Structure 1
Amino acid sequence: MAVDEDRPAYATGALRIGPDAVPPRYATLIIEAAAACDQGLPAPVLAAQIYHESHWNPTAQSPAGAQGVSQFMPTTWRSSGYDANADGRTDIHDPADAIPSQARMMCKLLRTAKRHPHYNGSPIELALAAYNAGWGRVTQFHGVPPPSFANGETYNYVRNILTTSRRFTTTAPAGEAALPSGFTLPTNAPTPVRTAIAWALQQRGGPYHLGGDCTNALGTDPAHWCDCSSLMQQAYHHAGITIPRTTYDQVNTGTTVALDAPKPGDLIFNPGSDGSDSRPGHVGMYIGEDLVLEAPRTGLKTRLVSYTSWRTSTTPTTRVTAIRRIVTW
């Protein structure tokens, strides 16, 4: 892959939400839409793209006729838009439809871009260029079109989005881990639960460090890697909910749930190597479809395991001893 070193690197971390960043009303849509892409679509890049397309205006209309927060042309919308919020309407002006449609289109372009490793540009750059100018132009130039094309419109579009993506990223990079094949975030779950799961899944592949605060899961400083309980704490922190730092305190947070009735977002406890049935030392998050996300132990990385393997375990350290629901639903 050839990369233009003059173009800025893009950001892959957790989304920065608030003033001078991503408006809270769009944050969950962006996080979920990016997380649903199995090609590695960073949420800050998707957010930066929306910002440059419409400056967050769902009624925006360009002189060329592009409409909505994601600036779809009506002809493109007819083929690429979908009713993401299942309200019976595929509405170009509804961010709940437009943002997931944009992410799905970007995901498809990323998949195509990865089939052309010798083109000039990273897959993210190629996908952005194609979103702006069409894949035909990317093919024509074997990469991101140069500044001489269209008065630099596409070249600068890519450059500006990559630069803005860094502003929309927290100091806690979260990586580009994809959701399991075929997995979708639970649409019937409360927004904080969906946000916590989406954020937590972005930390997959990060090294474990006992006592790490999980504020830079894929970084180089072990102090900011995740342990089991900091992963849970930070996931819910990004959903706007404060829970205690340690497993021993988290097991007393929220409401008790029967061991055979977990819901997505529930905290699943087992004794681990340093706890007991009555005072569990390890915790993971149930995300649905018999999957638990955990930061396991030193030497292993944040990963998914089956809930059944914990529930039916005959090993004292791994069998489920408690479930706590942080958000009632």
Structure 2
Amino acid sequence: MKALVKGAVAVGTALPVALFGLLLAGASVDASGSTTGITMVNGLNLALMPAEGRKWAPWYVKSAAQCPGKLTPALLAAQGYQESGFNPTIEGPPTQYGTAKGIAQFIDSTWATYAQDADGDGTKLGAKDAEDAIMAQGRYMCRLYDAGQKSGYNDDPVRLALAGYNAGWGWVTHYQGVPPISFAREPGQEEGQTYHYVKVITANAKAWATALGSASLSGLGTGSGPDAVRRAATQLGIPYSWGGGTPSGPSRGFCDGRNGYWRGSCSAATTAGYDCSSLVQYAWWPSLKLPRVAADQYGATASRPVVKSDLQPGDLLFWSKGGTRAIYHVAIYAGDGRVLHAPRTGKPVQIQPIDAAMPAADYVGATRPGA
């Protein structure tokens, strides 16, 4: 397949560079059993994404967070799919302007402007470091969005940013909007490359941003407890990472000789995510600053015990192998006999029935945080 015309190196120039693009018309529907039917990651529906893209979902969430209120995880994920099919090692054909590389298809000159070691692994893979490239993609798109917002052109800044990423901001300026359907159209094609690029990405982004359905978390009500559940629900699908997670969001964890390992390696050290107590801390933090570990969270809330029959959304449930001094897990009550929690290494943040979350014999009780 021939390379697409790709955007300028930086906002304000019309220099064309090559993009190895995939003309993909839609997303496959292939729900992941690993999420136990819960497939939302901060407004990004994993069930509607191609399977190869789901592992990068937390990074699209982090990347979009660099440009709050402007970019969404679904938009950046759909763009990544269009650019590379979520392939971190792909390269386009060499051109006079450079070779587009990696999951976000950066040429070297653009990469040099937006690259950072976002995952802190110190690797030297350049644009083929997927985590770093996804974060750079968000920074570049944010700058293009701002340019579109300031331009006064009669179009959505998201569409303008996408067109700038693909064709170069100079062409957006030339046409005072997204280039027309005839722009960069090759023989036999109905749509020009940039027009198609913008159309497909915006369509996939809309499809992949299916909101968390009312059937999943309905009737929560109002108050600090329901708010904590809703905040935790924005992290559904984020990986478990022992020692990872802060009140600000997912982060890499560590291994302690027993915990944090997956299939023989220390996955926590390279995985941005949460463990059970950091997720609870994240959920409640805006209104109540709970301690970091599960046993301390029990101690901080034990004065307000709750029996199972009286559980309310936001209540904390605890499990232990040896009484309250040996609590090893905490979860948030999500209503209808279910908990929202980060189960263990290898499993994402998810919703499960209480009795399926942890061994029933280990359940020690529930508490109601005060806020």
Report the TM-score when normalising by structure 2. 0.49
Tell me the CA shift for residue 45 of structure 1.
0.8
- The answer on 1:170 being equivalent to 2:199 is no
Contact 2:229 2:313 in 1 (8 A): no
User: Does the CA-based 8 Å contact 1:48-1:164 persist in structure 2?
Assistant: yes
Question: What CA distance in whole angstroms lies between the structure 2 residues aligned with 1:48 and 1:267?
Answer: 39
Residue of structure 1 in register with 2:44 after alignment: 15
Decide whether the 8 Å contact of 1:16 with 1:169 is kept in 2: yes
Report the alpha carbon displacement of residue 111 of structure 1 after superposing the two structures with TM. Answer: 1.5
Question: Aligned residue pairs: how many?
Answer: 217
Equivalent residues in 2 for 1:1-329, closer than 5 Å: 14-18=43-47, 20-21=49-50, 23-63=53-93, 64=95, 65-89=99-123, 91-116=126-151, 118-151=152-185, 152-172=192-212, 227-232=226-231, 234-239=233-238, 262-263=291-292, 277-278=304-305, 283=314, 322=369
1:261: how far off?
6.3
What fraction of aligned residue pairs are identical, expressed as a percent?
Answer: 32
> Which whole-Å CA distance do the structure 1 matches of 2:179 and 2:135 have between them?
26
In the TM superposition, residue 26 of structure 1 has moved relative to its aligned partner by 0.6
Could you tell me how far 1:36 is from its partner in structure 2?
2.4
- Secondary structure, counterpart of 1:150 in structure 2: coil
Offset, 1:84 = 1.1
Q: Give the Cα–Cα distance (whole angstroms) in 2 for the partners of residues 82 and 149 of structure 1.
A: 33
Take 2:69 and 2:229, find their aligned partners in 1: how far apart are those partners?
A: 27
* Unpaired stretches in structure 1, ≥5 consecutive residues: 1-11, 174-211, 216-221, 242-252, 286-320, 324-329
Q: Is the 8 A contact 1:68 1:93 kept in 2?
A: yes
Task: Output the CA distance in 1 between the equivalents of 2:153 and 2:47.
Answer: 36
When residues 112 and 139 of structure 1 are mapped into structure 2, their CA distance, relative to the original with a 3 A threshold, is same
Distance in 2, matches of 1:254 and 1:37, equals 28
CA contact (8 A) 2:74 2:206 kept: yes
Q: Cα distance, 1:112 vs. partner?
A: 1.6
Report the structure, 1 or 2, having the larger strand content: 2
Q: 1:83 to 1:148 in 2, by over 3 A?
A: same
Distance in 2 (alpha carbons) for counterparts of 1:20 and 1:51: 9
Q: Distance in 2 between the 1:225 and 1:159 partners?
A: 38
The residue identity in structure 1 corresponding to 2:66 is: A
Residue identity in the other structure for 2:136: S
Provide the C-alpha distance between the structure 1 equivalents of 2:116 and 2:43, rounded to a whole number of angstroms. 26
Structure 2: distance between partners of 1:32 and 1:254: 20
Unpaired segments of 5 or more residues in structure 2?
Answer: 1-40, 186-191, 241-275, 282-287, 317-367
Q: Shift of residue 125 of structure 1?
A: 0.2
Q: 1:156 is matched by which residue type in structure 2?
A: H
> For the residues of structure 2 that align with 1:264 and 1:111, how far apart are their CA atoms?
40
| Distance (whole Å) between structure 1 residues aligned to residue 84 and residue 207 of structure 2 | 17
Question: 2-side partners of 1:169 and 1:21: how far apart?
Answer: 14
Residues 45/260 of structure 1: CA separation in 2 closer, same or farther (3 Å cut): closer
SS class of match (1:114): helix
Q: Which amino acid aligns with 2:198?
A: V
Conserved? CA contact 1:144–1:155, under 8 Å: yes
Partner SS, residue 84 of structure 1: coil
- Superposed CA RMSD in Å reads 4.1
Larger Rg: 2
- Residues 48 and 208 of structure 2 are in contact (CA less than 8 Å); yes or no, is this contact kept in structure 1? no
